[in-house]
């Protein structure tokens, strides 16, 4: 068993299937201690119940905390409208009374230098914690982010959803490793992998349904596993290239730029072995038994 990572997963689970794949990947890893799950963006209570359901199916008891619903930027929330539709009886899951931001602050500040946060949705919860408790940024061991597009050709979804939050996070002194959109798009799950996931462990059938619910309305027979790839960068670094330290600048429109900066706090990560990374993801999902 490798190095143990003590983590909090911050997620907008329930829309794109990649959040569910990321959670399943973490649940299959023996080198991860998940302290809690925080949900962000839109109907965070529904998202929390979806996360609860996946953990319950995997026979894992992990506290889930509903978080910030409205972007700090005030931007209107986007949703597919189908979040949670493939699940029944989600209301059976009791959510924690504590707000996600308070859980993040308390857990990180009570364990300085020990907690890694994986942020795979808009950064509203993380930014709110930074603003509410200035020592929060000092006490995080590491922040792993899926977001941005450093080609500056597109505005990536997570940054666009809450530009103000992204600016707060990347102007902090938190040590950050980021997987941007073009880097995540080096990986793909095609038909063969989708069928493998269907047969992989307790969560396989659920994930298979969620994959189909995501790709079929888009006329696709494939999907990109953005979020689990940043999880794998933490768990299986041998499949990735890590950059020198740099800084991220975010424009008013959400376009992002990364540049080398010796005094910066942000490293970029990109799959160097994308096929092996996808295979490792499926192997970890299959270990949820």
- The fourth-level CATH superfamily of domain 5-286 is Ribonucleoside hydrolase-like (3.90.245.10)
* pTM score: 0.97
pLDDT band at 152 (very low <50, low <70, confident <90, very high): confident
Q: Give 34-66 pLDDT, tens digit per residue.
A: 999 999 999 999 999 999 999 999 999 999 999
Is pLDDT of 153 > 90?
no
Instruction: Give all strands (DSSP E) within the chain, no chain letters.
Output: 5-11, 32-39, 64-66, 115-119, 142-146, 176-179, 240-250, 256-260, 266-271
What residue ranges do the domains of the chain occupy?
5-286
Q: What is the pLDDT of residue 2?
A: 58
pLDDT band at 1 (very low <50, low <70, confident <90, very high): very low
Q: Give 226-266 pLDDT, tens digit per residue.
A: 999 999 999 999 999 999 999 999 999 999 999 999 999 99
Closest CA to 197 of 281, 71, 120: 281
Strand order across the beta sheet in which 64-66 lies: 64-66, 32-39, 5-11, 115-119, 142-146, 176-179, 266-271, 240-250, 256-260
């Amino acid at each position: 068993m490798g190095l143990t990572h003590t983590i909090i997963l911050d997620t907008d689970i329930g829309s794109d299937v990649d959040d569910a794949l990321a959670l399943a990947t973490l649940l299959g890893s023996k080198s991860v201690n998940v302290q809690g799950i925080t949900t962000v963006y839109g109907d965070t209570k529904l998202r929390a119940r979806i996360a609860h359901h996946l953990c319950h199916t995997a026979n894992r008891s992990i506290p889930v905390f509903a978080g910030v619903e409205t972007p700090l930027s005030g931007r209107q929330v986007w949703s597919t409208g189908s979040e949670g539709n493939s699940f029944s009886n989600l209301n059976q899951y009791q959510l924690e009374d504590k707000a996600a931001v308070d859980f993040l602050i308390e857990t990180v500040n009570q364990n300085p230098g020990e907690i890694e946060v994986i942020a795979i949705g808009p950064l509203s919860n993380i930014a709110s914690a930074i603003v509410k408790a200035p020592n929060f940024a000092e006490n995080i061991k590491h922040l792993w982010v899926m977001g941005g597009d450093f080609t500056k050709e597109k505005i990536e979804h997570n940054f666009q959803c809450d530009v103000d939050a992204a600016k707060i996070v990347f102007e902090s002194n938190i040590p950050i490793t980021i997987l941007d959109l073009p880097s995540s798009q080096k990986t793909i799950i095609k038909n063969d992998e989708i069928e493998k996931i269907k047969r992989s462990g307790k969560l396989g059938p659920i994930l298979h349904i969620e994959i189909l619910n995501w790709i079929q309305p888009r006329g696709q027979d494939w999907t990109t596993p953005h979020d689990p790839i940043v999880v794998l960068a933490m768990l299986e670094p041998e499949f990735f290239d890590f950059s020198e330290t740099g800084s991220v600048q975010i424009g008013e429109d959400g376009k992002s730029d990364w540049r080398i900066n010796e005094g910066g706090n942000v490293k970029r990560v990109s799959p160097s072995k994308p096929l092996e990374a996808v295979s490792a993801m499926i192997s970890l999902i299959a270990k949820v038994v």
